[in-house]
Amino acid sequence: MQVATGKSILNGVAIGPLRIYRKEETQTAVSSTLTVAEELARFDSARVKAQEQLGALYEKALDEVGEENAAIFEIHEMMLDDDDYLDAVKSIIETQGATAEYAVATTGENFAAAFADMEDAYMKARATDIKDVSSRVVNILSGATEGNALGDEPSILVADDLTPSETVQLDKSKLLGFITRYGSSNSHTAILARTMNIPALIGVEYDDSWDGKLAVLDGYNHCVYVDPAPELLTTMEEKRKEDLKQEALLQGLKKKPNVTLDGKEIKVYANIGNASDVGLVLQNDAGGIGLFRSEFIYLDSQDFPTEDEQFAIYKRVAETMAGKKVIIRTLDIGADKQASYFNLDKEENPALGYRAIRICLTRKDIFKAQLRAILRASAYGTVSIMFPMIISVREIRDAKDILEECRRELREKGVPMGEVEIGIMIETPAAVMLADELAEEVEFFSLGTNDLTQYTLAIDRQNPKLDAFYDAHHPAVLRMIRQTVEAGHRHGCWVGICGELGADLTLTETFLRMGVDELSVSPPAVLPLRKKIRSLDLSKEPEA
């Protein structure tokens, strides 16, 4: 058995034969035997035809991945009208007496290299788009035909890289998953893979001997097993069966509203810790992201992540969610989540210490970098901001003032931004007691039931000796949830739950009867929760 590792684009399992996709190299003559005018005419004709093909790809992608993700092909069309690109191609034809094929290929390489040299991760990933567009025009000029990448049997596709157009054109009935040697998790190809629910790995070193061999693509553990051992194959087949059960449940619920038998609708969102979890959100058909734990960006870094680094991540998530709500919780570092480079003092009781909004309000440089990144990303989707560990009106107002300061700075630079909904976490008894006043400052509440339970019961949830005393169903906790919902609704706030209790199916009916508007749970818990909601009839008296 051979094992190779890479970076997972979508958590999932694919089992089947490997098929190596070798792209035909298009030979392009440098010098032309035609006149400059004839070569320019050839280029213009091929450019128009490429735009027609991209228009058709847009329509295909529209059906498969939605308007937001299909927009990449509209962008590709616009690239072929870009003055800088067109001028570069025409200049090479006119000054070097070159063929249109050579001029387009050279321009594509030059522009792609310029993007690849940029520091911003998102802009780096655009190099692939430039190459994709240029290759299309070169193929039209040379008369090259598109090959069958997958063959006749379902397989796991292996390639050096795949362009967005190649990805969309693959026969999904034959594609079990794909593996590439190159590529970026920020690329449009990766975004399309997540949206189409295709298990995929990038950054995998492979060799030609893989072709035709049985393999397991394990997106959960970021690796591929070639010629897997029988025991491993059995284990992964069981995992795949579990995934298929989830898929069957998904197909039964897909596009159906989360509405009880008596007509009450509730939003079901998913919690994520990083951008790679978005594939699971889409895979489980969640209505949005109710909690993006942004602190994991910091925990995964060796130093403070820059504004641009954060922007690339938030933008990618917003784009991939294609207009669905993405609620980003601002930095919640401290307590049980420590990053050494913050140089936080050791505390006797960190759960009650310097953490979350308390750090952000006293370290404005860190806070502003994150807020500017979120505001910039809001231009690319439906983004909301949620402040954690709020216990007073003053804290909300201070946080909003800093947010407005960031807005002004970006506005002065002409940076585009979208409308951003503002909410807070309700995690302490203090926040519950002040819920009426807090609700006048924000547009939504999200109950963090893990901390709310800890602080209400005065029980450290990290201490295993206290497990016997810890009761998430404690009447005091449930009364606080009800009190928060009622206060929020009195002031026009919608109220959700993003803690572990949201996935507790024994409490789903209780929460709905309280008037909870939204439940955000781990991605695997989305489908069972949706099924539970659709089975309830709130018009009937609850069972004793």
What's 474-531 look like in SS3? CHHHHHHHHHHHHHHHHCCCEEEECCHHHHCCCCHHHHHHHCCCEEEECHHHHHHHHH
Question: Angle 230-253/526-535 helices, nearest 10 degrees?
Answer: 40
Q: Round to whole Å and give the CA distance between 205 and 181.
A: 6
Q: Which two tokens stand for residue 80?
A: 């072929």
Q: Which two tokens stand for residue 456?
A: 């209400």
Q: Give the strand pairing for 2-5 and 223-226.
A: antiparallel
Q: Which two tokens stand for residue 190?
A: 């990766």
Residue whose token pair is 């489980």: 284
Q: Is 20 left (phi over 0), alpha (psi -120 to 50) or beta?
A: beta
Q: Round to whole Å and give the CA distance between 135 and 143.
A: 12
For residue 27, count CB atoms less than 10 angstroms from its CB and return exposed for 0-12, middle for 13-18, buried for 19 or more. exposed
> What is the distance of C-alpha 452 from the center of its chain?
28
Question: Angle 307-320/121-142 helices, nearest 10 degrees?
Answer: 50
Q: Which two tokens stand for residue 316?
A: 């990618």
Catalytically active residues are: 188, 498
DSSP line for 149-210: SS-SS-EEEEES---HHHHHHS-TTTEEEEEESS--TTSHHHHHHHHTT--EEES----GGG
Q: What is the DSSP letter of 31?
A: B
Cβ 296 vs Cβ 313: under 8 Å: no
> What is the distance of C-alpha 435 from the center of its chain?
32
**Size of the chain in residues:** 544
Q: Which two tokens stand for residue 432?
A: 């519950």
